[in-house]
Chain A
């Protein structure tokens, strides 16, 4: 038995005019955890779909399984060779039970065979036990956390006899603890001879769990490297082809205090949070998911009411009844959920940019002026260097990084004094991340006070003047990035 699970050579794919994949080679060993890295649009998904049999590659391709070589692979062939993909959306059935989700393939294969709920439970239990997972087979999937749903998806492919599993961004919405337990599970699956390919944006965890990393850039193979000795900085350079600077923000000019919190509390969310935010300052707010970061931001933005403590804006007491109130006081909040809350995906780029300042765009009164909307949109597209072919297109047509620029523009249009950014780089490529942070730093240099919420130690370390680490709703400590290392900061966050 060869130790190569699958090797694909000379993989190319052309869609219309564009060559999405160009002579890529991909090799996966038995029992290996491999990372497939690359920016959005580099061809990762296309490669996965080709190996999975969904797309037919250009002729000349060779798939090798052990001693067998094939020149084409169909979805059925891929299945029979144990190749399975767990896409980011997991494709589960929320209203069905865990057991029913795990045996769902039977329902499709033998639709008229009489069912026994007990048999489904037993089979699910067997799979769960075999891989030592923690799942209740009788629970409904809708009641489970994302991390547990992930386990259900894994059980489903394992039951289908998976020996090669592709996982698309499996850690995207998990907490630190959940990520660790998922990574443990991947390790134990690999130890049982199953090969796993992780697609992930979180470079730190990739380096932690994978043995090798295959990097794609613009449809070409950059190379496959052992992760031993690889650093995040080197990996991002390989992915983007750019040397990104990796130093803390040079603590710049700091202006007058603009926002002051005194013992701000909200029951069950955060307690006694105090800080003073100055003009031109970027304050980091970090801590694990659920530490109260976003909850604090919601209170500062008037979406929830604090139950104790006080806020001051420009020295005057600040009482907010709603987020409209907050906007009036020139506070802006960029939501972490860009897809659902930050932008209206199927509305145009213009309308998304203008939505926060509609009254200012009326001419005559009561009627929106298309001209003013166009001018405003054009101004911010230029200012933020957003790549837009046509501002009347739906915002969903843009990439993650460019969508985030539109979301930023929408809030910058309100001319805020205080800008709260809640995880502004979720779903944004490494290269585009750098661009977003460049904008954020410039805004601070122009005198805006910025609160940056993030759980990525690297982002906080490079882009803030000081950072508050929240733990269970309390400020655990304050850290000046310039006086510490990224690793030390990471250790404090995860402590």
Chain B
């Protein structure tokens, strides 16, 4: 097993996938409801928001930064977009709503990027600041009041795929498709463009990147802006799923998602992490939670177990490090 996993190219993602599959097998045997199309679709529907957040966050981590303001930024986006749409645009539609969410989210992300870049403040400090600022402003302006009266287009779930299942039918909804698009886009940029590789380069060695002519502002703007954009999209999807906008619905999510992304092989030091890893990290935590649920473990144990998984992942830095190095330097 060890030998199999240590083959080159498997790395963190391979280990994660292995654990995820093993977990799925165990849960399929232990419960009769885990291995069903319905449960799989539920998992994807429910995790689409988290995965959209995660692929945004992994970009920031790869670039050597961190952002904890994105979840509250998503709440701000929900409010700003809903208020604009309802009060000024007569309700709008999917296109306008999506565009506005992306724009507002990206703008909030660019505020972080600007502060980090212009004043050379450590990203965690800046985003702790904006985390409080965004959330404080949101609570102050809204007075903590939720919006229940969302436009019709947002209210009704849009099924994409309907399969007959044991109990009624299993349906895959729009957020899953949006998630797939965001995952694909982020992957394309990071893995298949020179710009994406220079984001890795910058995270790996900022000084070397600077000397190679990489524009530091572009990297910062892209990383935090892209996370903001993802947060905007995720915010819209979350509002769509729950059919309402609640100001404190997302706060607290940032740490869970950060943990999932770190589990997926990203480090706070930068230069490491992949889109696939981030997705697998979210899915692993989700499957654990789902499995515990199906096994009838009390929900009070969830956090504890999630916490343990995170600690194990962080102490081993990333799971690939548990295995012997596959490519040692050859000595001449």
The reply to whether A96 and B329 contact each other, CB–CB distance below 8 Å, is no
Segment 115-141 of A: residues with Cβ below 8 Å from B: 115, 134, 136, 138-140
Partner of B207, one of A89, A95, A110, A114: A89
Query: Is A144 close to B, CB under 8 A?
Result: yes
The reply to whether A112 and B207 contact each other, CB–CB distance below 8 Å, is no
Contact bitstring B203-239, A, C-beta under 8 A = 1, else 0: 1110111011110000000000000000000000000
**9-residue interface stretch from B97-105, B192-200, B305-313:** B192-200
Q: A113-B194, A136-B330, A181-B332 are in contact. Are A91 and B207 (CB under 8 A)?
A: yes
Measured CB to CB, the closest approach of chain B to A347, in angstroms, equals 20
Partner of A95, one of B191, B214, B271, B327: B271
Closest to A115 in B: B192
Query: Is B240 close to A, CB under 8 A?
Result: no
The reply to whether A107 and B325 contact each other, CB–CB distance below 8 Å, is no
Query: Is B291 close to A, CB under 8 A?
Result: no
Query: Is A26 close to B, CB under 8 A?
Result: no
Closest to A116 in B: B192
Contact bitstring B312-332, A, C-beta under 8 A = 1, else 0: 000000000000010111111
Query: Is B65 close to A, CB under 8 A?
Result: no
The reply to whether B205 and A91 contact each other, CB–CB distance below 8 Å, is yes
A181 vs B332: C-alpha distance when bound (angstroms): 8
Closest to A146 in B: B329
Partner of B214, one of A89, A100, A108, A110: A108
Query: Is A254 close to B, CB under 8 A?
Result: no
Q: A100-B197, A112-B194, A114-B192 are in contact. Are A93 and B329 (CB under 8 A)?
A: no
**Across-interface contacts of B120 in A (CB, < 8 A):** none
Query: Is A111 close to B, CB under 8 A?
Result: yes
The reply to whether A111 and B194 contact each other, CB–CB distance below 8 Å, is yes
The reply to whether A95 and B200 contact each other, CB–CB distance below 8 Å, is yes
Q: Max chain B CB contacts within 10 Å: which of A95, A134, A144?
A: A95
Q: A91-B207, A93-B208 are in contact. Are A107 and B198 (CB under 8 A)?
A: yes
Measured CB to CB, the closest approach of chain A to B330, in angstroms, equals 7
A46 vs B172: C-alpha distance when bound (angstroms): 64
The reply to whether A108 and B211 contact each other, CB–CB distance below 8 Å, is no
Query: Is B109 close to A, CB under 8 A?
Result: no
Q: A94-B205, A96-B204 are in contact. Are A148 and B194 (CB under 8 A)?
A: no
Measured CB to CB, the closest approach of chain B to A139, in angstroms, equals 5
Query: Is B8 close to A, CB under 8 A?
Result: yes
A378 vs B272: C-alpha distance when bound (angstroms): 47
Partner of B332, one of A100, A106, A134, A136: A134
A209 vs B200: C-alpha distance when bound (angstroms): 37
The reply to whether A93 and B327 contact each other, CB–CB distance below 8 Å, is no
**Across-interface contacts of B331 in A (CB, < 8 A):** 145
A204 vs B204: C-alpha distance when bound (angstroms): 35
Query: Is B175 close to A, CB under 8 A?
Result: no
A112 vs B198: C-alpha distance when bound (angstroms): 11
Q: A111-B194, A181-B332 are in contact. List 10 more A-B contacts (CB 8 A).
A: A91-B205, A91-B207, A93-B271, A94-B204, A100-B201, A107-B201, A111-B198, A115-B193, A115-B194, A136-B330
Top 9 closest pairs, chain A to chain B, by CB: A107-B194, A95-B271, A111-B195, A91-B208, A93-B204, A95-B204, A93-B201, A111-B194, A107-B197
Taking Cβ atoms with an 8 Å cutoff, the residues of B that contact A are 8, 191-198, 200-201, 203-205, 207-209, 211-214, 271-272, 325, 327-332
Taking Cβ atoms with an 8 Å cutoff, the residues of A that contact B are 89-96, 100, 104-115, 134, 136, 138-140, 143-145, 147-148, 177-178, 181
25 contacts between A and B (CB under 8 A): A91-B211, A91-B212, A93-B200, A93-B209, A93-B271, A95-B200, A95-B203, A95-B271, A95-B272, A96-B204, A96-B271, A104-B201, A107-B194, A108-B212, A110-B194, A112-B193, A113-B194, A114-B193, A115-B191, A115-B192, A115-B197, A136-B327, A138-B8, A145-B331, A178-B332
